[in-house]
Structure 1
């Protein structure tokens, strides 16, 4: 009678999420959560719109470790914010999730420098669309600004702010991705 080790725990490699992947996901999620509380006014025309760098962490996690890790990292930090600022959290969650999933999916398909640039560009467009549509629906619900007022803000405020945010996230994620991938690859040995 031979002994066989049959792993059925949900964090085994057979399940696709080994202990190392869960730990990496937890570290990236913690970093994204901490950075989600850093709010910087980056657009002088609308100082009430704040940039938080958590999107960089989400993008890097998705690009380096795939859409599954990226989705978790993009989602969990905003669950905490749902209890404090639900409307802002819904907007941030939607933008982080679409950006991360689109970028990770495109980059997984075309894993090259050109693929990275394409992934960041396509995900940036997707994020911009979600941000504009989200503002049209959510802003009137909590601010009292009618939809017509939000429409008037699209070109002078919402598009430039979101393009700036998207550009910062994309550039920093592209710069950080290589070192993160090298560290991940070294950890595989």
Structure 2
């Protein structure tokens, strides 16, 4: 890849990061069962970036967006950065690696399903460790809501973002690969 191609790729990745940040500012829907959990579509441009440019690019996008969201846009600081990075990072590494091997619609579905599963499982584990600190509650209180609140929230968030990614990716990819 020559310098011009690298600059173009970096510019397109910056655009995806900017769209992600705009989405997190404009669309924030508290989860009724736990208002501290908030749905936002900010991962969609990151997922698209992972599909278009590979899992490492998706991870870089995740780091940049997570940092800006957590420390500049008034997110949840270090804990918010960490949780967003590990959740979305797990997704893009798995889904991005699966999709890059065979870029078909069927493989995109498999990649998005696997990404959703790994993100959900990852967040079950990290919520068990981090949420007691973040909310100042006993670990048993978090264990009590793992199956009824945290699991469905993460499945919903990753699932909705995966569906939107699947629907929009091909048309956006045409622009990203020009």
TM-score when scaled to structure 2? 0.89
Higher helix share: 2
**Is this contact kept in 1: 2:90–2:119, CA < 8 A?**
yes
**Is this contact kept in 2: 1:59–1:70, CA < 8 A?**
yes
**Once the 2 structures are TM-superposed, how far is the Cα of residue 163 of structure 1 from its aligned partner?**
0.9
C-alpha distance after superposition, 1:130-187 (max 9, x if no partner): 11111111111121111111110011111111111111001000011010122234x2
Matched, 1:126 2:118: yes
Matched, 1:176 2:168: yes
In structure 2, C-alpha distance between the alignment counterparts of 1:137 and 1:36, rounded to whole Å: 25
Matched, 1:101 2:93: yes
Identify if the C-alpha distance between structure 1 residues 126 and 16 changes in structure 2 by more than 3 Å, giving closer, same or farther: farther
Matched, 1:57 2:40: no
Q: Highest Rg: 1 or 2?
A: 1
Match of 2:12 among 24, 44, 57: 24
Deviates more, 1:146-155 or 1:16-25: 16-25
In structure 2, C-alpha distance between the alignment counterparts of 1:93 and 1:75, rounded to whole Å: 6
**Is this contact kept in 1: 2:63–2:85, CA < 8 A?**
yes
C-alpha distance after superposition, 1:82-109 (max 9, x if no partner): 4352212211111111111211110011
Correspondence for 1:155: 147
In structure 1, C-alpha distance between the alignment counterparts of 2:115 and 2:43, rounded to whole Å: 12
Identify if the C-alpha distance between structure 1 residues 116 and 160 changes in structure 2 by more than 3 Å, giving closer, same or farther: same
**Is this contact kept in 2: 1:29–1:72, CA < 8 A?**
no
Matched, 1:74 2:66: no
Higher strand share: 2
Q: Secondary structure at the match of 2:29?
A: coil
Correspondence for 1:92: 84
Compute the RMSD of aligned alpha carbons. Answer: 1.8
**Is this contact kept in 1: 2:20–2:45, CA < 8 A?**
yes
Correspondence for 2:29: 40
Aligned length: 173
